[in-house]
A and B are shown apart, each in its own frame.
Chain A
Amino acid sequence: MSNDKLILVVDDDPDLVESVSMKLEGEGFQVAKAYDGVEAWDRIKHERPHMLILDVMMPRKNGYELCNEIKKDDEYKDITVLLLTAVADAIPFTTYTHMDGKSTLADDFIPKPIDLDNLMEIVRDNL
């Protein structure tokens, strides 16, 4: 199976980046990786992905900030953004909220953990 769509996986957890990337590669997608919001912006500008699978809680620039910057930028606003986050469930003692996520312009908001097969379906549905 081959697919010319490039998907950028962004999370500060390298294990999650790797498992999602391997699954996407197995489905034939091209994959790029970044481990915080600043690095992700750099990849977006250089590699122009079709989709971002984006974590929320990250150093330097969090996923909400990055999502909003992308969606407010005419050059990049068409990139599909899937927010993938543990914040979707109630987490006490965190500054991040589900409401923050819902107020972004992300194309979908997916709670962690997700079955990777389900994630692939969501990816295909959104491309």
Chain B
Amino acid sequence: MTGINGLKISGELCLVRLCEDSRGSGLLPAFSRLLAGSKINMLFLSTESDAGGTRTTCCVDAAHEALLKSVLHAEPMLQERAEFTAGVGLLTLFPHRSRLTLFGRSLRALAQAGLRVFAVASSVGTLTYVLEYAQLDKAAEVMQACFEFAGNHSPFKADSLLRREPCGGPEARSERKETRAMYWEPQIKTYGFQVVKNLALYTYRLPADLPAEWTRTIKRIEDEATRFHLLHAQLSESFELDLQLLCEPDQGAPLARRIAVEIPAAGDRLLVTAPVELIFFQGPHFGDRFGIADFTFKTLKEKTDVLRAAVFACASIYLMLPEGAADETRTRLAAAFRTPG
């Protein structure tokens, strides 16, 4: 049995899907600006863009659903393109160590347990699934049966307290278990930016009902030693899981060839885009703070229009760009964010 270090489950969230018919319409930056203006944190964001448009899945705290709907009411263009799904939550597994094993095994286990996956995305260390909130405990049980956890690991339930006001006194302090801080600095801090070039993007459409042959495909993914830089997937309108896997070409190509040989139908569902470039970075408490996505998109300005994909998960941000766009984008980000050194 594969060992992993831990698992986290979130509180109840609300999922928002945004669909744009064309790339570069500015819908996602406008949406992010609206959330930041209302101090609503995006706990998860996965967006992918091609000639057919841009599809975005994001999650906010369920307590913010009414506020979000009310601010969207004032923005008809956004409101008509936003679709809400209440009662979702995040299940986060770690670490993935850039191997597909964790993804393949966990996705297959969730599918076999009949648990619907709304979205999934990797971060530097984690793999985060968006699932039905009511099924999170069951999903955690499924993962416990699937993986061996480290001894005395952190409890699965979120055990954090968000402090909004200064709190004093020895009694309050002795019982504190605050793990998230509401704070904002004039210049947002990161650990620095990493750029990877000459990558290949494998876009793969998995039917949500996962018939036997596709379960075998996932088993193949599970068995592969393929290393990835980023993976993310969203549930499409036709209830298919659009998976994007970003790898070095020499890592992804053998996997794609094997899948195509074993499942001839897969050829129609596999799209390879190369070369593409990737920038990723992380910062302290990025996952806990509103406005990070807005600040990133504002910094990118018109470069947001050329984004192939973006993922905000855990404390990491990934931006997938076409060839030749990463260096200038990094320069912009490095000028806007504060990096140590």
> Which A residues are closer than 8 A to B by beta carbons?
12-19, 33, 35-36, 38-39, 42, 46, 57-60, 62, 86, 89, 91-96, 112-116, 118
Contacts and interface: CB of A to CB of B under 8 A. Distances in A.
A117 B315 CA distance: 20
B123 to A, nearest CB: 5
B116 to A, nearest CB: 24
B178 A57 contact: yes
B340 A14 contact: no
Contact of B189 (A15, A113, A116, A118): A113
B283 interface: yes
A113 B282 CA distance: 9
A95 B182 CA distance: 11
A59 B159 contact: yes
Nearest to B191: A113
Contacts of B164: 93
Contact of B179 (A14, A42, A58, A116): A58
Nearest to A92: B183
A59 B177 contact: yes
Contact of A19 (B154, B155, B180, B191): B191
Given A14-B8, A16-B284, A116-B192, 7 more contacts: A18-B124, A39-B152, A60-B159, A93-B165, A93-B181, A94-B181, A112-B189
A97 to B, nearest CB: 9
Interface residues of B, number: 51
Contact of B125 (A14, A38, A96, A116): A14
Interface of B: 5-6, 8, 92, 94-95, 97, 123-126, 150-155, 159-160, 163-168, 172-173, 176-183, 185, 189-192, 282-285, 287, 314-316, 339-341
Contacts of B163: 93-95
A118 B191 CA distance: 11
Given A14-B6, A15-B282, A35 B154 contact: yes
Contacts of A46: 151
A14 B340 CA distance: 20
Contact of B314 (A13, A57, A95): A13
Nearest to A87: B181
Given A14-B92, A14-B95, A59-B154, A86 B124 contact: no
Contacts of A18: 94-95, 97, 124-126
Contacts of A17: 94-95, 125
Given A57-B178, A95-B176, A113-B340, A12 B154 contact: yes
Given A14-B94, A115-B192, A19 B125 contact: yes
A33 B284 CA distance: 18
A92 B95 contact: no
Given A16-B315, A59-B159, A39 B95 contact: no
The 6 closest A-B pairs by CB, nearest first: A18-B125, A14-B94, A42-B152, A59-B159, A115-B340, A15-B124
Contacts of A60: 154-155, 159, 177
A94 to B, nearest CB: 5
Contacts of B179: 12, 57-59
Nearest to B95: A18
B300 to A, nearest CB: 21
A38 B164 CA distance: 26
A86 B181 contact: yes
Contacts of A113: 189-192, 283-284, 339-340
A91 B184 CA distance: 8
A94 B164 CA distance: 8
Nearest to A12: B179
B315 A94 contact: no
A12 B180 CA distance: 10
Q: Among B151, B152, B284, which residue has the most Cβ atoms of chain A within 10 A? A: B284
A61 B339 CA distance: 29
